[in-house]
Amino acid sequence: MYYIGVDLGTSAVKLLLMEADGSIRNVVSKEYPLYFPHPGWSEQKPEDWWNAVVEGIRELVPETDREKVAGLSFGGQMHGLVMLDENDEVIRPAILWNDGRTGKETNYLNEVIGKGKLSEYTANIAFAGFTAPKILWVKENEPENFARISKIMLPKDYLAYRLTGTFCTDVSDASGMLIFDVKNKCWSEEMLKICGIRKDQVAKIYESYECVGTLKPEVAALLKLPESVRVAAGAGDNAAAAVGTGTVGDGQCNISLGTSGTIFVSSEEFCVDSNNALHAFAHADGKYHLMGCMLSAASCNKWWMDEIIGTKDYAGEQEKITKLGENHVFFLPYLMGERSPHNNPDARGTFIGMSMDTTRADMTQAVLEGVAFAIRDSFEIARSLGIPITRTKICGGGAKSPLWRKIVANVLGIPVDIMKSEEGPGLGGAMLAAVACGEYTSVEDAASHIVKIVDTVEPDPDLVKKYDEKYRKFAKIYPALKDIYSEII
């Protein structure tokens, strides 16, 4: 049988057709517009998502294989606000995760309601990208639209609703709304009241691997698929990507070196750090996870190479780096501010420690090491909560660099595994669909059969010791500069 994974991204939807054993049969990508009606705002039209998915699925599945499609599920961009009226019409364009209009509402939640209360209600504090501040913004600035709300949903859940008619969400995506009680996996009555919304306006909650329904007859005809196709609830993009990398079960870890960077740690038990430096969310495997998100990761190296030293020869520049653990230059990778663990939009990229004998290679090395040190900031918080992290997987564009993988392994002091396939949220969505159809008994079972490790970078004890010393110095720099950042932006 075949399973479709739908990766609903910000610039495009990527659809993947997976065989039962995890083999990828076909991949199709469809782009759609992104709108910026005001500086700092970011919106999309849900109808554009739907049209792209319909067109993409028709191309994805060959005519001869359509009757073999058993299930479909999602990995979706998180935090976006989609609102439908009583006629199931979209009220306004979706406000996306990277929209920055909610500064006032975010401050209200954190400072007036209070971070302590938010953490008690939801296990998290407010960030501008989360859904609750967006709801408050609409309530304050578009009261006529707020009054029309019949259903509030997340981007991928709009697709599930169009496919099945089921008003649903999953625990991992709901965790990023700031109206969801993560520990107890239910809507927070207190947060619904704070946002001024009723419980009937939010969706029924499912585990990510649970079936929410089958294709509506008219949709099955439109897609040229059987009506029997089972649709699983799916997951937020980070949780779906974690499924696709096998980051499920207690103490499993994945590091993503993309434009932004994440460290994703799965846990059997619910846990939250005292400062809410990491996001504490429900995971797509039925348990929980902690996630640290840094806003600039591989983009730091791109900035340094493209804009500062003016070269595209990334590998050539890295060949000049020969003395790991001995660099006296440090780089703080906060080019766009920082989320985890500092939650400081005013933070900025910083070089420190240069001298007359500092070389171009030293600066390049500092950039790579600075990103690894920043990942360790979040790694240390997760480990302080007693989660037994003994190794990690790594993915993303930056992970294609053997040198950067070696630096990460030695900065963290654990083995770093490289996977055979890197299909991200789309693969995770297809795996969730396979579980929903009974192809595998659990998400862990699917991961053990499908995710393959092809190489491992082992840490070197002497280099680990050197990087431990360097990290202790790195960790002192941000506190020393914290108050200066707000004065220089």
Neighbour tally for 143: CB within 10 Å:
10
Count of positions (residues) in the chain:
489
Q: Please pick, among 173, 181, 237, 377, the residue that the annotation labels catalytic.
A: 237
Q: What is the mean pLDDT of residues 360-380?
A: 97
Q: What is the mean pLDDT of residues 83-98?
A: 96
Mean pLDDT score across all residues of the chain: 95
pLDDT(339) > 90: no
DSSP classification of residue 344? B
Q: Looking at the domain 248-420+459-489, which fold is it?
A: Nucleotidyltransferase; domain 5 (3.30.420)
pLDDT(98) > 90: no
> Domain coordinates of the chain in residue numbers?
2-239, 248-420+459-489
Digit-coded pLDDT (tens) for 142-189 = 999 999 999 999 999 999 999 999 999 999 999 999 999 999 999 999
Digit-coded pLDDT (tens) for 434-480 = 999 999 999 999 999 999 999 999 999 999 999 999 999 999 999 99
Distance CA 443, CA 367 (A): 36
> Which residues are annotated as part of the binding site?
78-79
> Residue 128's pLDDT is what?
84
State how beta strands 261-267 and 94-95 pair: unpaired
CB–CB of 281/417 below 8 Å? Answer: no
Give the chain's largest Cα–Cα span.
Answer: 72
> Residue 118's pLDDT is what?
97
Burial-class residue 23 by CB neighbours within 10 Å (0-12, 13-18, 19+).
exposed
Digit-coded pLDDT (tens) for 6-57 = 999 988 999 999 999 999 999 999 999 999 999 889 999 999 999 999 999 9
pTM attached to this predicted model:
0.90
SS (H, E, C) 3-34: EEEEEECCCEEEEEEEECCCCEEEEEEEECCC
pLDDT(1) > 90: yes
Nearest residue to 205 (alpha-carbon basis) of 171, 249, 248, 182? 171
Assign domain 2-239 one CATH number from 3.40.50.300, 3.30.420.40, 3.40.50.1820, 3.40.50.880.
Answer: 3.30.420.40
CA–CA distances in Å: residue 474 to residues 64, 318, 371: 58, 21, 11
pLDDT(345) > 90: no
> Residue 135's pLDDT is what?
98
DSSP classification of residue 175? G
Q: What is the mean pLDDT of residues 333-361?
A: 93
pLDDT(486) > 90: no
Write phi, then psi, for 30 (nearest 5 degrees). -130, 125
DSSP classification of residue 332? E
Digit-coded pLDDT (tens) for 295-330 = 899 999 999 999 999 999 999 999 999 999 999 999
> Residue 430's pLDDT is what?
98
pLDDT band for position 489 (cuts 50, 70, 90)? confident
Mark whether 237 is an active-site residue.
yes
Digit-coded pLDDT (tens) for 59-77 = 999 988 999 999 999 999 9
> Which residues are annotated as part of the binding site for substrate?
78-79
> Residue 102's pLDDT is what?
93
Same-fold call for 2-239 versus 248-420+459-489: yes
Which CB contacts under 8 angstroms, 24+ apart, belong to 479-486? Answer: 481/332, 481/350, 482/342, 482/344, 482/347, 485/344, 485/346, 485/347, 485/348, 486/346
